[in-house]
Amino acid sequence: MTKIIIFLIGIVLIGFIAWWFFGQHQVQAEQAVVNDDQQNVDIEVKGGYSPERVVLKKGVPATLKFKRTDASTCLDHVIFSDLGIDQKLPQGQVKEVKIDTTKPGVYDWACSMNMFHGQVIVK
Amino acid sequence: MKITMRFWTALVLSLPMLAEMVLHPFTGWMLPGGEWTILILTTLVMLISAGPFISSAWASFKKHHANMDTLVALGTLTAYIYSIYAMFKHLPVFFESAAFVITFVLLGQVLEAKMRSNASDAIGKLANLQAKDALVKRAGKFVSVPIAEVVAGDLIQVKPGQKVPVDGVVVSGISSVDESMVTGESMPAGKKPGDQVVGATINQNGTFEFKAQKVGRDTMLAQIVAIVKKAQNSHAPIQNLTDRVADIFVPTVLIIAIATFLVWFLLLGKSAGTALVFAVSVLVIACPCALGLATPTALMVGTGLGAKKGILIKNGEVLEAANNLNTIVFDKTGTITAGHPQVTDVVGDKHVLAVAASLEKLSEHPLASAVLQAAKKSQVHLRAVSNFRAIEGQGVTGTIDGKEAFAGSPASRAAGTISDELTKQIATFEQEAKTVVVVGLAGKIIGLVAIQDVPKKNSSKAIAQLKAAGLKTVMLTGDNAQVAHAIAQQVGIDEVIAGVLPTGKAAAIQKLQQTDKVAFVGDGINDAPALTQADVGIAMGSGTDVAIDAGGIVLVKNDLMDVVRALRLSRKTFNRIKLNLFWAFIYNVLGIPIAAGLFAGIGLVLSPELAGLAMAFSSLSVVISSVLLGKAKI
Ligand SMILES: [Cu+2]
């Protein structure tokens, strides 16, 4: 009897993991607010990035403010490979990353181990 | 808390348990307090050292993400919580596994962070090359000012042993400058008024003054640093696979771990403790970080190594493309040849050169400077010329020592009578694609000067090495076929495409691309379309005129051997990436089944501690392998 229960628990867990990680889930996105010809977005770095998708207005100087509260070494750098940016993120400090918004496009960012991803959309 | 502190804490707290583990089988010694002491020590490790793993894993779980922290956190938490349960049920416990895994994983991360900062050091070293201050002329005197205050147009003095602060042109003084830090060229370069100097290079013997032209972000060093920085963070297409793997990897491992437990516990009827050990081992060994580190660390080291030698590879894509080339196309003028014509032969006595040079001194013809240079080299005396006259399309004439003198085209009737021997000589020179200047004096041709744009000294060596590497070599030029073939023969080029207009170069590349993967080597100034069209554009610079925007590979030095080195470096870096990826994959492909106990039948099992150690060293070995690339000879 216990064996059947454990078996069922195992199957349910596997199903849950598959649904939780592989299912389609809404990505947290944020449209930057333009103030005084300048747009800023605060990004919390904790087990990933919140928000994970940032929408910027074309032509307005933009700054992403990353703050890492997570101790994981995975997240200690944020890398925008298309933009040539590699910003160190010391824990607990706010680090600003300026984004060139002259050209519309989609720019991905990732942690230094390429496990967590985020996206800037300029339009 | 910093990661090193977390590691030391875990280590110190784990040591008593390690001592018991080692000593117990021989002496029967046990920690005072028994399981209770072990519980307390492990709990401290879990709180202090593992806490951040757990909170990071939880934070990413909420975002539907999983990473290596998820694996470490779940693995150790499972071992820890089960052991507490087992302790009260008087079953075997394995607290120390949790503590040891944390210690080993942190050890791996500490070492890895250290190696990674070593790998990315090249760029820091480059940026530090810059001088801190400069001797600038202000109000008639040279005063030392911080480099940030130097503006274009400043007159700057450089004394022996000092660094050249910014880019500019020498106005007075003579010296030699060690430019190896920027160009990779080991021979010092002589500098005289009119020559370019580059910031961060070291003045060796003389004192000179120069006018600043490029400062701050415009200097060559600053641009090199910017390129390398960008390259180090770029993506290589080969990485796309691992990106996708990383996304599904951790959840898949979680599922495998649960399945492992179920199989051992239910199917094979082992105890819950034994089944859990296998499941925990699977969780702990399967960190995908080695995969994630394989490409970026190798790219970082490879591009950094190139920068030190004056070879700038712009990104990972270029590096990968450079590995699939089978044809390499060269622009002729300025790339294979020196780009300015030189006197190759003089027929006749030393009057010939003297007369020619005396006349050409007054001319504006492009070939004139070649003649003057040759005259200067053989130290002939220039004569006074009167009645100087240029005859359109034919040559120049004037009176020297009362006699009518001429220098110009062999076709010109103004030259005078010519011997059969010289006529034959002219034909030979023309067959060799040399431009012939006939020199006449008092109505008679007294000699010939042959002029040609000669290959640079390393051209044939470089082309021979590229051919040896299996590449087809092609020369692309606007010159006529005869000139082109003559040069091609001298340097050993396989194929010539001659008579191409500058605007037609890109089209010619495109045509080759129908069957081949093509690299184009050009000087970047008017070759931009061809450089962009080619699969790999290699732009060659000379001194400060580095065509930084054009081309995927930029060579600071104008030396064809650097093309060979650049391709060699690309190949080595790319191979290192492949090697890293192979090991990272193999490690997981073999490690997971072993951890799951698939080979338990033949006695091959992994305890969670060993799995943790193996996991720590998988990513460490990838980073070390990349760092070793920095020692490669190119
Ligand atoms: Cu990782």
Contact at 8 Å (CB) between B513 and B535?
yes
Query: What backbone torsions phi and psi does residue B455 show, to the nearest 5 degrees?
Result: -65, 150
- B245 inside 8 A of chain A by CB: no
pLDDT on residue B325: 92
Q: Please, what is the angle between helix B51-62 and helix B68-88, to 10°?
A: 120
Contacts of B288 in chain A (CB under 8 A): 115
Other beta carbons within 10 Å of B590: 12
Residue type, A122: V
- A8 inside 8 A of chain B by CB: no
pLDDT on residue B543: 47
d(CA B613, CA B97): 11
Determine the distance in angstroms separating the CA of A36 from the nearest CA of chain B, rounded to an integer. 28
Which of A14, A25, A70 is facing B255, going by the closest CB pair?
Answer: A14
Q: What residues sit around ligand 1, an ion, with C-beta below 5 angstroms?
A: A 74, 113; B 68, 289
Q: What would the DSSP string read from start to end of A69-118?
A: ----GGGSEEEETTTTEEEE--BT-EEEEEE--SS-EEEEEEETTS-SEE
In which element (H, E) is residue B531 found? helix B528-533
- B296 inside 8 A of chain A by CB: yes
β-pair partners for A80: A85
pLDDT on residue B235: 74
Substitution target in B64, B225, B263, B622 with the highest count of A β-carbons within 10 Å is: B64
CB pairs under 8 A between A and B: 119
- B260 inside 8 A of chain A by CB: no
At residue A64, the 3 state secondary structure works out as strand
Contacts of B242 in chain A (CB under 8 A): 114
Tell if the CB–CB gap between A113 and B261 is shorter than 8 Å. Answer: no
> What is the side-by-side strand order in the sheet with B403-408?
B342-347, B444-452, B435-441, B403-408, B395-400, B386-391
User: How distant is the alpha carbon of residue B430 from its chain centre?
Assistant: 42
β-pair partners for A79: A86, A110
pLDDT on residue B206: 87
Of B486, B466, B488, B464, which is closest to residue B476 (Cα–Cα)?
B488
Determine the distance in angstroms separating the CA of A38 from the nearest CA of chain B, rounded to an integer. 24
Q: Which residue of A has its CA nearest to B239?
A: A114
Tell if the CB–CB gap between B259 and A10 is shorter than 8 Å. Answer: yes
What size, in residues, is chain A? 123
Tell if the CB–CB gap between A72 and B67 is shorter than 8 Å. Answer: yes
Tell if the CB–CB gap between B53 and A3 is shorter than 8 Å. Answer: no
Tell if the CB–CB gap between A7 and B266 is shorter than 8 Å. Answer: yes
Tell if the CB–CB gap between B254 and A6 is shorter than 8 Å. Answer: no
In the stretch 52-71 of chain A, residues with CB closer than 8 A to chain B read: 52, 70-71
- Can you read off the two tokens belonging to residue B122? 């090249």
Alpha helices in B341-458 (DSSP H): 350-360, 368-377, 420-431
pLDDT on residue A73: 75
Distance B574 CA to ligand 1 centre (A): 22
Alpha helices in B120-170 (DSSP H): 121-128
In which element (H, E) is residue B255 found? helix B239-262
Contact at 8 Å (CB) between B305 and B572?
no
Q: Which residue of B has its CA nearest to A8?
A: B262
Tell if the CB–CB gap between B65 and A70 is shorter than 8 Å. Answer: no
Query: What backbone torsions phi and psi does residue B593 show, to the nearest 5 degrees?
Result: -60, -35
Instruction: Render pLDDT for A7-59 as a digit per residue (tens, 0 to 9).
Output: 999 999 999 998 888 887 777 777 777 777 888 889 988 888 888 888 888 88
Distance A21 CA to ligand 1 centre (A): 17
- Can you read off the two tokens belonging to residue B94? 């394995």
d(CA B15, CA B28): 17
Query: What backbone torsions phi and psi does residue B115 show, to the nearest 5 degrees?
Result: -65, -40
Contact at 8 Å (CB) between A32 and A39?
yes
ipTM over 0.95: no
pLDDT on residue A28: 72
Strands (E), B18-140: 133-138
Angle (nearest 5°) at CA A79 between A73 and A85: 135
Is the preceding peptide bond at B188 cis, omega within 30 degrees of 0?
no
Instruction: Render pLDDT for B201-216 as a digit per residue (tens, 0 to 9).
Output: 889 888 999 999 988 8
Substitution target in A26, A72, A87, A109 with the highest count of B β-carbons within 10 Å is: A72
d(CA B132, CA A19): 58
Tell if the CB–CB gap between B109 and A72 is shorter than 8 Å. Answer: no
Which of B57, B226, B266 is facing A6, going by the closest CB pair?
Answer: B266
pLDDT on residue B544: 45
Of B619, B519, B9, which is closest to residue B297 (Cα–Cα)?
B619
Instruction: Specify burial of residue B597 (Cβ count, 10 A radius: 0-12, 13-18, 19+).
Output: buried
Tell if the CB–CB gap between A114 and B258 is shorter than 8 Å. Answer: no
pLDDT on residue B246: 66
d(CA B68, CA B287): 5
Contacts of B1 in chain A (CB under 8 A): 71
Instruction: Specify burial of residue A90 (Cβ count, 10 A radius: 0-12, 13-18, 19+).
Output: exposed
At residue B633, the 3 state secondary structure works out as coil
Tell if the CB–CB gap between B68 and A74 is shorter than 8 Å. Answer: yes
Angle (nearest 5°) at CA B531 between B529 and B536: 145
Of B525, B548, B557, which is closest to residue B457 (Cα–Cα)?
B557
- Can you read off the two tokens belonging to residue A106? 């989609």
User: How distant is the alpha carbon of residue B112 from its chain centre?
Assistant: 23
Q: Are strands A38-45 and B202-203 parallel, antiparallel or unpaired?
A: unpaired
Of A95, A89, A52, which is closest to residue A71 (Cα–Cα)?
A89
Determine the distance in angstroms separating the CA of B312 from the nearest CA of chain A, rounded to an integer. 14
- B123 inside 8 A of chain A by CB: no
User: How distant is the alpha carbon of residue B354 from its chain centre?
Assistant: 48
- B620 inside 8 A of chain A by CB: no
Q: Which residue of B has its CA nearest to A1?
A: B266
Instruction: Render pLDDT for A100-122 as a digit per residue (tens, 0 to 9).
Output: 888 888 888 888 777 788 889 88
- Can you read off the two tokens belonging to residue B530? 């061809």
- Can you read off the two tokens belonging to residue B85? 């349960």
Contact at 8 Å (CB) between B158 and B210?
yes
What sign does the dihedral B550-B554-B555-B560 (CA atoms) show?
negative
- B255 inside 8 A of chain A by CB: yes
In which element (H, E) is residue B343 found? strand B342-347
Distance A70 CA to ligand 1 centre (A): 13
Which of B67, B116, B233 is facing A74, going by the closest CB pair?
Answer: B67
Q: Please, what is the angle between helix B561-596 and helix B272-285, to 10°?
A: 170
Contacts of B229 in chain A (CB under 8 A): 84, 86
Of B99, B104, B102, B101, which is closest to residue B20 (Cα–Cα)?
B99
Contacts of A6 in chain B (CB under 8 A): 262, 265-266
pLDDT on residue B524: 61
Tell if the CB–CB gap between B68 and A115 is shorter than 8 Å. Answer: yes
Q: How many helices (H) and strands (E) does chain B have?
A: 21, 22
Contact at 8 Å (CB) between B307 and B122?
yes
- Can you read off the two tokens belonging to residue B556? 């600071």
Tell if the CB–CB gap between A72 and B69 is shorter than 8 Å. Answer: yes
What size, in residues, is chain B? 634
Distance B293 CA to ligand 1 centre (A): 8
Q: Find all residues with CB under 8 Å of A20, minimum gap 6, and list them.
A: B61, B64, B251
Instruction: Specify burial of residue B46 (Cβ count, 10 A radius: 0-12, 13-18, 19+).
Output: buried
Q: Find all residues with CB under 8 Å of B405, minimum gap 6, and list them.
A: B355, B358, B359, B385, B397, B398, B399, B439, B440, B441
Low-confidence ranges of chain B (pLDDT < 50): 543-544
Determine the distance in angstroms separating the CA of B127 from the nearest CA of chain A, rounded to an integer. 15
- B626 inside 8 A of chain A by CB: no
Max intra-chain CA distance, chain A: 68
First vs last C-alpha separation in chain B: 42
Tell if the CB–CB gap between B63 and A79 is shorter than 8 Å. Answer: no
d(CA B38, CA B15): 11
Distance B120 CA to ligand 1 centre (A): 18
Whole-structure pTM over 0.80, yes or no? no
Judge whether residue A92 has pLDDT over 80: yes
Tell if the CB–CB gap between A115 and B3 is shorter than 8 Å. Answer: no
Q: Which residues of B are catalytic?
A: 331
